[in-house]
Amino acid sequence: KQEVTQIPAALSVPEGENLVLNCSFTDSAIYNLQWFRQDPGKGLTSLLLIQSSQREQTSGRLNASLDKSSGRSTLYIAASQPGDSATYLCAVISAGGGNKLTFGTGTQLKVEL
Amino acid sequence: DAGVIQSPRHEVTEMGQEVTLRCKPISGHDYLFWYRQTMMRGLELLIYFNNNVPIDDSGMPEDRFSAKMPNASFSTLKIQPSEPRDSAVYFCASSLTPTGGTEAFFGQGTRLTVV
């Protein structure tokens, strides 16, 4: 059974700092990995999707990397802003797991002025 | 496209009542998913459909939960009778070929409170 873990559970940083969020998964046989952002009381917004054949994806100040063999992904946020404050979730679609996303526990990020 | 649309946004009901949650997926998406989010268990898949057909309902907690997708643009999740432990945020999501590297798009969710 696929398990997804995110570390740290919570993170507080000053504005302007570069930061890294970590995601690990126990079964490396995945089709893809997706990073989401969730604001309080809101739905999930897709940030980046990395297919299993890819090593990284970039969108603006965000860069996500994938090391499938070691079961790890990182989300790098450059020059953080208060508007980046949210919960960040990673999720994987496992081979043999149907088409469902298995979610991590999330990292709650607060960027302070 | 307006994205995945869920209704209602908030629902407060008394224990024992029937609750119906609604979802309109993104036009053209052939996969539809129902997830539940709680503080204790995070996000869990309840059921998903492909081309309106239920494929995997192993996440449905018990017989009190049922889901239908009568056509490509509408799905419902029904709880009857509802219990306080069903209180959670229920999300609907849709996508194309999930294993083919396409993103899943989520609705804003329905916050259900059963008192």
Q: Do B109 and A31 touch (CB under 8 A)?
A: no
Per-residue pLDDT at A96 exceeds 80: no
N- to C-terminal Cα distance for chain B? 36
Put simply, whether A103 touches B (Cβ < 8 Å) is yes
Contact B42 A106 (CB under 8 A): yes
Among residues B92, B89, B77, the alpha carbon closest in space to that of B31 is found at B92
Q: Which of B56, B101, B107 comes nearest A49 by C-beta?
A: B101
User: How far is Cα B95 from Cα B27, in angstroms, rounded to an integer?
Assistant: 10
Q: What length does chain B have?
A: 115
pLDDT of residue B102 exceeding 90: no
Name the residue with tokens 């194309």: B96
Q: Name the helix (H) or strand (E) containing A86.
A: strand A86-94
For B43-91, write each residue's pLDDT tens digit: 999 999 999 999 999 999 889 999 999 999 999 999 999 999 999 999 9
- In one letter, which amino acid is A67? D
**Inter-chain touch B55–A98, beta carbons under 8 Å:** yes
